[in-house]
Amino acid sequence: MPKPGVRPRRWRWVYGIALGTVWLAIALGALFAWLASELPEPRAIKSFEPPETIRLEYVDRSPFVSLDASGGTAVSLQDLPPWLPQAVVAVEDHRFYRHGGVDLRGIARAFFVNARAGAVREGASTLTQQLAKNLFLGPERRLKRKAQEVMLALWLEQKLSKDEILELYLNRVYFGAGAYGVEAAARRYFGKPAAQVTLAEAAILAGLLKAPSRYAPTVNPAGARMRAETVLDRMVAAGLASAAEVSKAQLAAVVIRDAPVGGRYFADWVLDQVPDLVGSRNGSIVVVTTLDRAVQEAGDRSVSAYVKREGTAKGFSQAALVALEHDGAVRALVGGVDHATGPFNRALNAFRQPGSAFKPIVYLAGIEAGLEPSSVFIDGPIAIAGWRPSNFDGTFIGEVTLAEALSRSINTVAVQVAERAGRGRVAAAARRLGITSPMPTVPSLALGAAEVTPIELTGAYAAIANGGTGVWPYAITEIRDERDNVLYRREGSGPGPAMATTTAAKLTRMMIDVIARGTGRAAQLDRPAAGKTGTSQDYRDAWFLGFTADLTAGVWVGNDDNTPMNRVTGGDVPARIWRDFMIAAHRGKIVRDVIPAARTVPIEAVSAPKSFPAEVKLPPVVAQPGTSAEPPDARSGRGRD
């Protein structure tokens, strides 16, 4: 028998569980009260109105462009064609009418999809959760905010019908290009009220919700149509449209209404960022951008002039230009020749092979692995698992320093540097410089096999220019409401140190030599400048990127369909566009005798003679058994200059 006053063990377990349950309930109640204390009044949903106008300003606060943000009043669900709300439900939340605000089945599905992919491929937020977040909570991604989002979603489901929630969502959600709500979006993109949109147009609008900046038909017509096809397929799968109805939808016949303004590529980019920075706001807002009017006009003139004058003869039809302050502030952005006829923003969204313009990143990895600009390599035949890279002119010059190899854009040396440093180290260096595009660690990575966008490669060069500190290119410094209250102000900088200052200085000195005596001579200015040329396989892409003490700029030329140009190299048209642009952009600026990043390394450390002790020389690389072979495709990334 148990001793008097001592509970049997099983009762101690029961008591412990009961006590734990009580404390858990108290803790959850306290947590609920804490979260609820900061929740807004859900009835405020009725008073929401989208911004009346969004005014963009240049960096000097002068007017840039003013756009109508609302485009119309709220519309009733009953006044919309049935396929419009059906398209939104099909692609955003096909179980909308079957869950209570939070879709547990969707959460489980997203968990397994993302776990299998090893990355976030699918979300699980319902339309009700999205409505709660957009109206009340803003863009923050914190656990507390997510919990509040769930609480608000459950509250909305209790107080409103499904149709009321869907109607509110359609009238408040952001569709890109400054358009809040389905009525504004229909007028913005199609020039008609939402009540008149066709099934194809409804699919395009619904497709925008996943990523307005990526799928906006004014920016990416082909991507918008592909996304719309996905919407139509999901409508059929969800039983919200028949295959016969979908087959009659004429996506190719949809006419997109464009309202051209100066610097429209930049304006599109800015407008798509505003909701993420300030959420949904009443009244008008003012966005102070980083754009410099004179620098932007110089970029527009340079790109347009060369495409018109030389494009037909040399076989290229498009170009892009990005100019940054060394802290990442975008002073000019040209996404193409003509926004009205080609609204796809190549500066932000065109993934192209950089060719030899990638080599400074390779040499960064080499210097970090112990090499010096004076290190000697042998420019000669090499083989890596059957791949035999060659130089642009098909010849070899033998003994050469690292600095001279970059100046003359010698491919065999770049490959040797990447193999000696390690391809993984090269990919990691690109990541530190802000390049987020995939970096395949194949031998041709050294010659620019990885596809990048002009803005991320220009940002990487800016990190070299400012002494090794990484930057994130940005377009907005401040957002204010109509009463001049600050809603957002940019604080902080980029990702931090990307390389040692001495390493940045060595690279800068080597890149100065590219313009002074190497492949970039056509880019010479009346002031110190550093840069690098790049041309991809079969002359499909040509690049020039470089910097002065004041500005970093990158230029790409090519064709949207990836057809080869007529022997255009990076040292030709892109270098001359860059030169003309930089001359105009620097007009009135004081000439500085030294680029800051180059001050810590004397010139003789880069321009030293080639006679070094034998132990410094690095032999050509020959692949060992088991090394991965180079992909034998036509776009293998062999640099061309």
Within this chain, do residues 135 and 195 fall inside the same structural domain, yes or no?
A: yes
pLDDT of residue 34: 47
Residue 422 lies inside a defined structural domain of this protein = yes
Amino acid letter, residue 261: V
Within this chain, do residues 541 and 572 fall inside the same structural domain, yes or no?
A: yes
Amino acid letter, residue 437: S
Judge contact between 639 and 408, C-beta under 8 A: no
Task: Choose among 428, 399, 431, 433: nearest CA to 413.
Answer: 399
Judge contact between 509 and 402, C-beta under 8 A: no
CATH of the domain at 321: 3.40.710.10
pLDDT of residue 62: 84
Q: What is the pLDDT confidence band of residue 146, given thresholds at 50, 70 and 90?
A: low
pLDDT of residue 621: 43
Residue 181 has pLDDT above 80, yes or no: yes
pLDDT of residue 137: 52
To 10 degrees, what angle do helices 199-208 and 221-237 make? 100
The H or E element that residue 285 is part of is strand 285-289
CATH of the domain at 94: 1.10.3810.10
* Helices and strands (H and E) in the chain: how many: 21, 14
pLDDT of residue 216: 79
Residue 591 has pLDDT above 50, yes or no: yes
pLDDT of residue 618: 38
Mean pLDDT of all residues in the chain?
Answer: 81
Residue 85 has pLDDT above 80, yes or no: yes
Q: Among 88-92, 151-155, 496-500, 602-606, whose mean pLDDT is lowest?
A: 602-606
Residue 188 CB-half CA count within 13 A: 26
Within this chain, do residues 193 and 206 fall inside the same structural domain, yes or no?
A: yes
d(CA 437, CA 450) in angstroms, rounded, equals 8
Judge contact between 355 and 543, C-beta under 8 A: yes
Residue 304 has pLDDT above 50, yes or no: yes
d(CA 457, CA 554) in angstroms, rounded, equals 8
Report pLDDT digits (tens) over 315-365: 999 999 999 998 999 999 999 988 766 678 999 999 999 999 999 999 999
User: Would you call 92 a catalytic residue per the annotation?
Assistant: yes
Residue 76 has pLDDT above 80, yes or no: yes
Residue 274 has pLDDT above 80, yes or no: yes
Strand partners, 379: 398
Residue 223 lies inside a defined structural domain of this protein = yes
Q: Of 244 and 291, which is predicted with more confidence?
A: 291
Q: Among 1-10, 197-206, 375-384, whose mean pLDDT is lowest?
A: 1-10
Three-class DSSP category at 114: helix
pLDDT of residue 372: 95
Within this chain, do residues 281 and 415 fall inside the same structural domain, yes or no?
A: no
String of b and e for 366-376 (b: at least 16 CB within 10 Å)? bbbeebbbbbb
Residue 33 has pLDDT above 60, yes or no: no
Q: Which two tokens stand for residue 100?
A: 């209570």
Measured in degrees and rounded to the nearest 5, phi and psi for residue 622 equal: -120, 130
Residue finishing a domain among 204, 237, 259 = 259
Within this chain, do residues 228 and 374 fall inside the same structural domain, yes or no?
A: no
Q: Among 128-142, 394-408, 598-612, whose mean pLDDT is lowest?
A: 598-612
Residue 481 lies inside a defined structural domain of this protein = yes
Q: Among 15-29, 274-288, 361-375, 512-526, whose mean pLDDT is lowest?
A: 15-29
Residue finishing a domain among 202, 237, 259 = 259
Q: Within 10 A of 557 (CB to CB), how many other CB atoms are there?
A: 28
d(CA 354, CA 592) in angstroms, rounded, equals 29
Burial class (CB in 10 A: 0-12, 13-18, 19+), 483: exposed
Within this chain, do residues 406 and 284 fall inside the same structural domain, yes or no?
A: no
Residue-wise DSSP of 515-566:
HHHSTTGGG--SS--EEEEEE-GGGSEEEEEEE-SS-EEEEEEE-TT----S
The alpha-carbon radius of gyration of the chain (Å, integer) is 29
Within this chain, do residues 496 and 589 fall inside the same structural domain, yes or no?
A: yes
Within this chain, do residues 435 and 462 fall inside the same structural domain, yes or no?
A: no
Considering 70, 125, 356, 536, which one is annotated as catalytic?
356
Burial class (CB in 10 A: 0-12, 13-18, 19+), 352: buried
Q: Within 10 A of 297 (CB to CB), how many other CB atoms are there?
A: 15
Judge contact between 578 and 524, C-beta under 8 A: no
Q: What is the pLDDT confidence band of residue 638, given thresholds at 50, 70 and 90?
A: very low
Within this chain, do residues 404 and 345 fall inside the same structural domain, yes or no?
A: no
Phi-psi region of 567 (alpha: psi -120 to 50; beta: other; left: phi over 0): left
Within this chain, do residues 571 and 617 fall inside the same structural domain, yes or no?
A: no
Within this chain, do residues 219 and 104 fall inside the same structural domain, yes or no?
A: yes
Considering 92, 404, 419, 451, which one is annotated as catalytic?
92
Q: Report the residue count for the chain.
A: 641
Burial class (CB in 10 A: 0-12, 13-18, 19+), 327: middle
Residue 133 has pLDDT above 80, yes or no: no
Residue 386 has pLDDT above 70, yes or no: yes
d(CA 565, CA 312) in angstroms, rounded, equals 10
pLDDT of residue 481: 87
Strand residues in 313-422 grouped as ranges (E) = 318-324, 330-334, 376-379, 398-401
Q: Which two tokens stand for residue 166?
A: 């869907």
Task: Choose among 487, 214, 459: nearest CA to 330.
Answer: 459
d(CA 157, CA 167) in angstroms, rounded, equals 13
Residue finishing a domain among 224, 259, 294 = 259
Residue 17 lies inside a defined structural domain of this protein = no
Q: What is the pLDDT confidence band of residue 279, given thresholds at 50, 70 and 90?
A: confident
Residue 281 lies inside a defined structural domain of this protein = yes
Q: Within 10 A of 269 (CB to CB), how many other CB atoms are there?
A: 24
Residue 63 lies inside a defined structural domain of this protein = no
Count of domains for the chain: 3
Within this chain, do residues 365 and 439 fall inside the same structural domain, yes or no?
A: yes
Residue 220 has pLDDT above 60, yes or no: yes
Residue 243 has pLDDT above 80, yes or no: yes
Residue 144 lies inside a defined structural domain of this protein = yes
Residue 4 lies inside a defined structural domain of this protein = no
pLDDT (mean) for 115-143: 63
pTM of the model: 0.67
- Domain residues for 155? 73-259
pLDDT (mean) for 405-431: 95
